[in-house]
Structure 1
Amino acid sequence: MKIKTIIVDDEPHAIEVIVKYLENFPEIDVVTTCSDGISAFHTLQQKNIDLMFLDVQMPGITGVELLKSLKNPPKVIFTTAHSEYAVEGFELDAIDYLLKPVSFYRFLKAMDKIFVKLGDNKLKTVISETSSSTELNKFLYLKVERKTVKVNVKDIYWIESIKDYVKVILADKVLVSKQKISLLEELLPEEQFCRIHKSFIISTQKVESYYTYAVEILGKELPIGRNYKQQALKCLQAV
Structure 2
Amino acid sequence: MSTPIKCLVIDDEDLAVRLLEDFVRKTPGCEVVAQADNGLEAYELLQRQEIDLVLLDIQMPHLTGLELLEKLEKRPAVIVVSAYAEYAIEGYRFDVVDYLLKPFSFERFTEAMQRAKEHISNKKQTLLCTAGTEAPPAPSHLYIKADYKMVRLNFDDILYIEGLKQYVKIVTLEKTLITLESMKYFEQALPAASFIRVHKSFIVAINKIETLTRQAVLIKRKSIPVGKTYKGILDTVLPAAPPSA
Q: TM-score, normalised by structure 2?
A: 0.48
Q: TM-score, normalised by structure 1?
A: 0.49
